Amino acid sequence: MKKLATLATIATGLALSTAAYAEQWDLPMAYSATNFHSAVGAEFAQCVTAGTGGALTLVTHPGGSLFAGGEIKRAVQTGQVNIGERLLSGHQNENVLFGFDSIPFLATSFEDSERLFEAAKGPLNAALEAQNLHMLYSVPWPSQGLYFNRAIESTSEMAGIKFRSYNAATARLAELTGMLPVSIEAAEISQAFATGVAESMISSGSTGYDRKVWESLTHFYDVQAWLPRNYMLVNLEAWNGLDASTQNVMTGCASMAEYAGDWRSIEYSGFTLNKLSENGMVVAPAGEQLAAELREIGATMTAEWLEKAGAEGQAIIDAFNAGN
């Protein structure tokens, strides 16, 4: 982390906005203040505030304290707040393209995740603008693994397990493995496992570390299913209402946030898996039978996503595959 200057420090090199008056925007975020996404978002906010000379001040509200995770996108879209960070795949029911980053076993590395994002960026931006939203930056989570409270060697052993879902892909994964999907926001994870509302989830080592899941769970299988992404979204009307100088500062800060977020996600991946292990969890790859069965499920889910996404979705996959 010492190698990377904070965005707030870098912002001093940006041209200051000449806005005639100061404006404050609240910035809701779903994850805890200690989560690396929230840390990057906080530095982005400081960068914008410093870069505009206080003409535009961003005030962050992590941990779902202002709006719950599932409410953030709608709040930004309707202008209840002008900016917010959200896991966009949580809204795949609105537009199937929002779930491009949660297709199992398609992009399983940071490099592949970046290529897939570039392939999807055009149609994704168009879909967001149609909903009065403008994307400032996006940062991937580390690859997703499966958490359980006991050893699991095959999908048949998952039947009946209460599984925390956070988007359409995770809910469908639960259905195909016989688990019972339960929608739980990130801020509620610890309580859900402690009270037995959930018994399993698919998530990164980062989420497990942040929520201290070793207090309830025992096994993490690093299946590298996908790398979902968080997005910093701004209300399109509010964005268009900013002067060019302020927009330039925000765009510059967003570029640096995306770089910082990518770097931290990579570094944090190994750190958090080590911490899970240090706190008594079994951290290992899935066994051969479980891995093979999960790949079959991944093929099914990819076909289902393409059927819903149509030609636009196929173009994203084709562009991604062309880079292999």
244 and 287 part of one domain: no
Structure tokens at 148: 């359980």
158 and 306 part of one domain: yes
- Is the confidence at residue 20, as pLDDT, over 70? no
What is the domain-level CATH number for residue 288?
3.40.190.170
pLDDT given for residue 138 in this prediction? 98
pLDDT given for residue 21 in this prediction? 63
Judge whether 203 lies within some domain.
yes
**pLDDT tens digits, residue range 263-285?**
999 988 899 999 999 999 999 99
160 and 208 part of one domain: yes
The model's confidence at residue 105, banded by pLDDT at 50, 70 and 90, is confident
**pLDDT tens digits, residue range 145-197?**
999 999 999 999 999 999 999 989 999 999 999 999 999 988 899 999 999 99
pLDDT given for residue 3 in this prediction? 43
300 and 211 part of one domain: yes
- Is the confidence at residue 250, as pLDDT, over 90? yes
- The model's pTM: 0.85
69 and 118 part of one domain: yes
pLDDT given for residue 213 in this prediction? 96
More confident call, 280 vs 6: 280
The model's confidence at residue 17, banded by pLDDT at 50, 70 and 90, is very low
pLDDT given for residue 22 in this prediction? 84
285 and 235 part of one domain: no
- Is the confidence at residue 19, as pLDDT, over 80? no
198 and 261 part of one domain: no
167 and 55 part of one domain: no
Judge whether 295 lies within some domain.
yes
Name the residue range of residue 211's domain: 145-225+275-322
153 and 192 part of one domain: yes
| Mean pLDDT of the 129-142 span | 97
**pLDDT tens digits, residue range 84-98?**
999 999 999 999 999
47 and 135 part of one domain: yes
Counting the structural domains of the chain, the total is 2
- Is the confidence at residue 11, as pLDDT, over 80? no
**pLDDT tens digits, residue range 188-230?**
999 999 999 999 999 999 899 999 999 999 999 999 999 999 9
pLDDT given for residue 186 in this prediction? 84
- How far does CA 90 lie from the centroid of its chain? 9
Judge whether 1 lies within some domain.
no
262 and 294 part of one domain: no
| Mean pLDDT of the 305-318 span | 95
Judge whether 242 lies within some domain.
yes
Judge whether 32 lies within some domain.
yes
Judge whether 34 lies within some domain.
yes
262 and 161 part of one domain: no
Judge whether 204 lies within some domain.
yes
pLDDT given for residue 9 in this prediction? 52
Judge whether 101 lies within some domain.
no
More confident call, 153 vs 21: 153
